[in-house]
Structure 1
Amino acid sequence: MSGSTPPSSTARADAGGRLIDGVLFDVDDTLIDTRGAFGVALDQIVRAYLPDVDGTRRDEVVAVWRADATGHYARYARGEMGYQEQRMARANELQATFGGALLDDEAYGAWNAVFEDGFTRAWAAHPDAHDTVDLLLAAGVAVGALSNAAVAYQTSKLDRVGLSGRVPMLVGVDTLGVGKPDPRVFLEACRRLGTEPARTAYVGDELDVDARAAVAAGLSGVWVDRPGPRRVEVPDDDIAAAREAGILVVTSLTDLPAALGLVGPQQVNWPTSC
C-alpha cells in the first residue's frame, strides 16, 4: 500500500510475524458514512429552518456543522456537558451563522426531531466496511468498536447497516464518562476485546483524537483519510510528523489488512462491488 508506515514498533511480532491481534474501529466516518447522513439531515434543516440559504451554500452548512468550531462535542466527550446540551448549542450556532431564529427548548425539540429523522434514515456503511471486517475476522483478528458517542446510539447505527453482529460496540462516551483522546477508553476497549494494547490497532477518521490518541495509549494508530473535505484542516507537516511517529495513513479501509501486515497485498481479493 502506498504512503503507509509499518505498525508501531512497540508491538512484538508473533511466530508468524504478525503484529496485530485486534482491531478497534471508530464508527462515524470510519465504518459509517456519517458525513453523507449529515448532508441529508441538514438539507431537511435548511428547508425547514434556514429559508435564506440557497442551494449553493448547502455544502457550507454541512462543513460548519461538522467542524463544530466552538468544540461543544469535544466538551461532551470530556464529560463537561450533556448530549442534548451540546446538540442544542450546536444547533443554535448553526442557526445564528446562517440567519435562522434562536431555538428555545421547545423549538429545539422540534428542530432536533427534523434533524434525527433525516440523519437516522440516511445511515449507511461505507462501501469498504463490510468486506474489510470480514477479511479481518477471517484472518483471526478480534474486532470491536470504540466511539465518542453513547453505546446504545452507536449500536443502533451498527444494527441499521448490518455490522453489529460482527463489530460489537464495546466502549462509548457513557462507558467511563469520558471519551477519546483519554487513554483510559482505549485501554478499556482493549480489555473488553481481549487483546493487549500493543497488539491492537485503532482505526479512525480523526488524526489527533483517533490515531495520535491511540498511539499515546499504547496502541497502533491508523488514520483513515478518505477523499473529500476533512472535518478540520490538517497541515501537511502534521501528516508527515504522524507518519514519522508510526501512524498508518490510508485512504480506504480496503488498504487496512495489508497495511497492518495481516495479509499480503496479493491476498486481498476484493469483490467487484468494492
Structure 2
Amino acid sequence: MPLALFDLDNTLADRERAFRLFAAQLLEQHGLPPEHLPWLIQADGDGFVPRPQFLEAARQHLGLAVMLDELIRWYDATYPTCYVREPDSIKALRTLKQAGWLLAVVTNGRTSIQSEKVRRTGLDAVVDVVCISEDVGVRKPDPAIFYEAARRCGAPLTGWMVGDSASADVGGGAGVGLRTAWLHRQRTWDPAAEPPDLVVDRVADVAAHLLDSSA
C-alpha cells in the first residue's frame, strides 16, 4: 500500500485561523482592544517562536497582570480549542484512503497539544497514524521521525511527505528519499534550495495528483 505523510499545522489544519482566534480570546480575556492583534500575530512567528518566549513577550508588551506559569496553563487549555473540523482536508484524505493509501500525520510539538488538535479537526478518524515529535523524541527534519511514522503504519518508508515547511517537511522528506509536496501559502520557493516535487495550494491538489499518478 502506498504511504503519504502529512504535516499538521497549516497543512491539514488552518493554524493561521486558529491562532487568530486564540489571540482574540487572549485580548478579550484581559479586556484589551483588538488593535493588539497584529502585534500578537507578528510576535508568534508563525508558531516557530518557543511558546514560553512568545507568552512572556506578550505578557510584558500587553502589561498582563498574570504570572507566566499561569499564562502558559491558560494557553495550553485554550489554544487547541481554537482548531475546528477541516472538511476539505478530511475529504481529500478519505479519497486517498479509499484508493488504498496509508496516511500518517507527522508533526512537531507537544503530544497533549497536537493530539487535541488532531481530535478537534476530525483527522483522528481518517488517518492511520499520528506521529508527534515529543512522543518520538526527535523533531522534523530528523530522519528518525519519518522512519517511525512508516514503522507505525507497517510500511516501508517510500511515498510522499506533504507540508508547508521548506526545511522540516520538504527538506526532511527529501532527505529520507520521499517525494515531496509543498503548500506554498502564497510564498515563493527559495531558488537556492532543492525544489519539491510538487507545489500546491491545497491538500486537495495533492490528493488529486497522487490519485492520478497511481492510476
Q: In which range does the TM-score fall when normalised by the shorter chain?
A: 0.7 to 0.9
AA aligned to 2:114 is: Q
- Which residue matches 1:254? 204
1:72 touches 1:89 (CA, 8 Å); kept in 2? yes
Q: TM-score, normalised by structure 1?
A: 0.68
Of all paired residues, the percent bearing the same amino acid is 25
- Which residue matches 1:263? 212
AA aligned to 2:25 is: Q
Query: Are 1:120 and 2:80 matched, yes or no?
Result: yes
Partner Cα separation in structure 1 for residue 141 and residue 31 of structure 2: 34
Shift of 1:118: 4.1
Gaps of 5+ in 2: none
Give deviations 1:164-189, integer Å, cap 9, x for gaps: 12214432112332211111111111
Query: Are 1:22 and 2:3 matched, yes or no?
Result: yes
- Which residue matches 1:205? 164
- Which residue matches 2:126? 166
Shift of 1:99: 4.3
Distance 1:67 1:144, change over 3 A: closer
- Which residue matches 2:63? 100
Distance 1:110 1:143, change over 3 A: same
RMSD over aligned Cα atoms? 2.7
Q: TM-score, normalised by structure 2?
A: 0.84
Partner Cα separation in structure 2 for residue 66 and residue 50 of structure 1: 24
By percentage of residues, which structure has more helix?
2
Partner Cα separation in structure 2 for residue 146 and residue 114 of structure 1: 26
Query: Are 1:40 and 2:40 matched, yes or no?
Result: no
Partner Cα separation in structure 1 for residue 104 and residue 10 of structure 2: 16
- Which residue matches 1:181? 141
Structure possessing the higher relative contact order (Cα contacts under 8 Å, 6 or more residues apart): 1
Partner Cα separation in structure 1 for residue 199 and residue 149 of structure 2: 22
Distance 1:237 1:250, change over 3 A: closer
Aligned length: 214
